[in-house]
Amino acid sequence: MAPEDTLERSRIEAAARQGGPGLARGLVALFAASAGFSVANVYYGQPLLDALARDFRIDLAVVGSVVAMTQAGSALALLFVVPLGDLIDRRRLMRAQLVTLIIVLVVVGLARTLPVLFAGMLAVGLLGTAMTQGLLAYAASAASANEQGRVVGAAQSGVFVGLLSARVFAGAVSDLAGWRWVYLAAAMLMFVAGVLLWNRLPLLAPPRVRVSYPRLILSMFALLRHERTLQVRGMLALLMFAALNIFWSALVLPLGAPPFSLPHTAIGAFGLVGVIGALAAARAGKWVDGGHGQRTTMVALVMLVLAWWPLAQLHVSLWILAVGIVLLDAAGQALHVTSQSMIVRTRPEAPGRLIGLYMLFYAVGSGLGAIGTTAAYGAGGWYAVCALGAAVSMAALVFWAATRRAPACAERNGSCTMARKKSACWGGAR
């Protein structure tokens, strides 16, 4: 290791012990933008399915398998790649993932056969998710204890904006230049982010974990079994993301039909309204830093329930619908940031595994929401969808109220020692 790296590592370790000087705003913004670009790669394919079906002669009934490949890649990343950051040097891992992701995006953009397309989509899902969650864990590890919530909140805002903007970006580029340029343009964006990240990624203290890779993966089951904060916040994430997907998966059905008959581009633009809510909730991490994680959770869950009234007024006014979207996404983002900020404090040596496990709850909730909403719409139309969403949101509020009195050391003090865990301190928060 170069002498300057050794000196920098020593400074970082000393700063970690003393609380640290704080990350520069420009670096935090870079983490947020890079995470947004990364997660967008996973969602570009959704508005392109008709074009992919034409180019590769895929039956419309099965073209959804293209998106399924990216989701499968995401699940593999959460289980087997994101935890690697707890075992090996994060900066080297991030650089390797970045280079590989750029190559894979180019491969998808140039794909001429179905097997290459499927393999490329699987790799895009895996690397895009690994980069996104790895950047969040990187930001949490680089931040000092007194600013961790703020940094995670800012980075997560970038993820939310990237997710909401991906479909609009893909639709616009595809209309102008064809679907292949969506992935080639994405490769260019990741290259720009990579140039900026390459030398600006802060050098972290060496990983504290000293186990083999198989034991690292097995340790995730122990974390899931013993970390109460992860259990509670994971369940809240499952219910919250189910509620979000109940809305977003069904929105195209009434807006695409009479009397609205809106084109896909206009329907996708409603996703940009949610960016307002996402940005408004970016301060949630700061509130966690100030010891107000449970209060923030309560406000977010109440907003999540109340949002369904304006959402149910879709046939009355699209402006009222837009208000509901802002409330819905602000509530979801605030709860998501709060939960991640609280989880990474429970085990500072395991942010990769904790975030990976937490996001698995998200994936399950998203899938259940998408399945439930189509059944609800078929049974009772838009009002049935809103009733289902409100019921799931209320279930999340009731679940939080029932579990909120768990011991509070994670929110107040950052983490629990094993001795304190034995005395019933599980990392919960009051």
Q: pLDDT tens digits for 351-384? A: 788 888 998 898 888 778 877 887 888 888 999 9
pLDDT of 429 over the 70 cut: no
Contact status, residue 224 vs residue 346, Cβ threshold 8 Å: no
Tokens of 423: 């005395």
pLDDT band, very low/low/confident/very high, at 22 (cuts 50, 70, 90) = low
Q: Residue ranges of the domains in the chain?
A: 1-13+20-207, 209-430
pLDDT of 74 over the 60 cut: yes
Count helices and strands in the chain by DSSP H and E runs? 19, 0
pLDDT higher for 166 or 110?
Answer: 110
CB atoms within 10 A of CB 279: 15
272 closest CA partner among 389, 166, 153: 166
Contact status, residue 242 vs residue 368, Cβ threshold 8 Å: yes
Q: What is the mean pLDDT of the chain?
A: 81
pLDDT exceeding 70 applies to what percent of the chain? 85
CA distance to 42, 44, 181, 202, 335, per residue, from 135 (Å): 15, 20, 26, 12, 19
SS3 state of residue 205: coil
Contact status, residue 353 vs residue 133, Cβ threshold 8 Å: no
The CATH code for residues 1-13+20-207 is 1.20.1250.20
What's the confidence (pLDDT) of residue 262? 81
CB atoms within 10 A of CB 283: 17
CB atoms within 10 A of CB 282: 22
CA distance to 87, 276, 352, 354, per residue, from 219 (Å): 12, 38, 12, 11
**Using the 8-state DSSP alphabet, how is residue 143 labeled?**
S
**Among 19-23, 32-36, 223-227, whose mean pLDDT is lowest?**
19-23
Of the spans 43-52, 98-107, 131-140, 321-330, which averages the highest pLDDT? 98-107
Contact status, residue 86 vs residue 344, Cβ threshold 8 Å: no
Of the spans 61-65, 322-326, 352-356, 414-418, which averages the highest pLDDT? 322-326
Intrachain domains 1-13+20-207 and 209-430 with the same fold: yes
CATH topology of domain 209-430: Growth Hormone; Chain: A; (1.20.1250)
What's the confidence (pLDDT) of residue 69? 84
Using CA atoms, how far apart are residues 430 and 426, in angstroms rounded to an integer? 12
Task: Kindly state the average pLDDT of the residues 87-115.
Answer: 92
What's the confidence (pLDDT) of residue 314? 92
pLDDT of 168 over the 90 cut: no
What's the confidence (pLDDT) of residue 216? 84
Task: Kindly state the average pLDDT of the residues 41-69.
Answer: 78
CA distance to 284, 295, 398, per residue, from 298 (Å): 12, 5, 10
Task: Kindly state the average pLDDT of the residues 251-265.
Answer: 80
Cα dihedral sign for 51, 54, 55, 57? positive
351 closest CA partner among 137, 36, 131, 128: 137
Using CA atoms, how far apart are residues 355 and 38, in angstroms rounded to an integer? 16
Using CA atoms, how far apart are residues 246 and 236, in angstroms rounded to an integer? 15
What's the confidence (pLDDT) of residue 406? 52
What is the pTM for the complete model shown?
0.74
H or E stretch covering 41: helix 25-43
pLDDT of 426 over the 50 cut: no
What's the confidence (pLDDT) of residue 424? 33
**Using the 8-state DSSP alphabet, how is residue 283 labeled?**
G
pLDDT band, very low/low/confident/very high, at 64 (cuts 50, 70, 90) = low
What's the confidence (pLDDT) of residue 120? 95
Over residues 3-16, the pLDDT tens digits come to: 434 433 444 444 44
**Among 55-64, 124-133, 215-224, 249-258, whose mean pLDDT is lowest?**
55-64
Using CA atoms, how far apart are residues 83 and 418, in angstroms rounded to an integer? 21
Using CA atoms, how far apart are residues 264 and 357, in angstroms rounded to an integer? 34
For helices 351-403 and 114-142, angle between their N-to-C axes, nearest 10 degrees:
80
Cα dihedral sign for 179, 184, 187, 188? negative
What's the confidence (pLDDT) of residue 410? 43
pLDDT of 423 over the 80 cut: no
Over residues 205-215, the pLDDT tens digits come to: 777 667 788 88
Task: Kindly state the average pLDDT of the residues 275-287.
Answer: 72
Using CA atoms, how far apart are residues 258 and 247, in angstroms rounded to an integer? 19
Using CA atoms, how far apart are residues 405 and 331, in angstroms rounded to an integer? 22
393 closest CA partner among 331, 343, 337, 339: 331
